[in-house]
Amino acid sequence: MRIEFCATPYTFVDVPGFTTVWNAPQCRERGVYLWCLEQQGAYLINYVGMTAGRDGFTGRLWTELRDWRAGWYAAGVDLERFTAGQRVVLPDCSPDVINAQRIALEPLYRIFLSSIPDPTTTRQVESFIVYSLMQHPYTAQYLGNKKPERYKRPPIEFEIASAAPLIGLTAAIPVVT
């Protein structure tokens, strides 16, 4: 089964040259979404999520963004290394440091959407993507999903398509030195 992600990423906040996810044409639809940061002309996936609820992408992403802003998904990272593609969690970061990092990261995140109306397929696609990203150390270390090792390969194969290069899915994994 072929799963297509939007060609142009969206943003959480106003960024010149981009549309916010809240204004995306498919914002009320259901499916799978990716939180990414740009790396060397491609996109490195930091989080894979899904929505099967009636509020679509807007409802689910707003809940996640609100919770992130409130510190629920708060893990301090080495910000310079994170924006360069290496996720290094810093222990015991203060809420002020974590909030400053969130403010710095919000305009950098690029959100890709794939509309999938069937909830069973949506769950399988999310699992397939996380499972696929966990197969390489570079993409695995960057993934922020809780307990990504619990995602199992679904019984069906998916072909992931995107006009934008998604590292580990539709684009080669860069050589890191």
pLDDT one-digit tens code per residue, 98-153: 889 999 999 999 999 999 989 999 999 999 999 999 999 999 999 999 888 899 88
Predicted structure pTM score? 0.95
Question: Which residues share a beta bridge with 167?
Answer: 171
| Contact between residue 142 and residue 167 where contact means Cβ atoms under 8 Å apart | no
SS3 assignment, position 110: strand
93 falls within a domain: no
Kindly list the strands in the beta sheet with 31-39, ordered across the sheet, starting from the edge strand earlier in the chain: 42-51, 31-39, 110-115
47 falls within a domain: yes
| Contact between residue 20 and residue 4 where contact means Cβ atoms under 8 Å apart | no
pLDDT one-digit tens code per residue, 61-93: 999 898 888 877 767 899 999 999 999 998 888
52 falls within a domain: yes
| Contact between residue 122 and residue 32 where contact means Cβ atoms under 8 Å apart | yes
pLDDT one-digit tens code per residue, 22-39: 999 999 999 999 999 999
Residues 6+ apart with CB under 8 A from 176: 85, 86, 138
Could you tell me the residue range of the domain that residue 59 belongs to? Answer: 2-74+109-162
55 falls within a domain: yes
102 falls within a domain: no
64 falls within a domain: yes
82 falls within a domain: no
SS3 assignment, position 16: coil
Specify the number of domains making up the chain. 1
Using CA atoms, how far apart are residues 12 and 103, in angstroms rounded to an integer? Answer: 11
Using CA atoms, how far apart are residues 86 and 29, in angstroms rounded to an integer? Answer: 32
Distances (CA, A) of 53 to 31, 84, 160: 9, 34, 22
85 falls within a domain: no
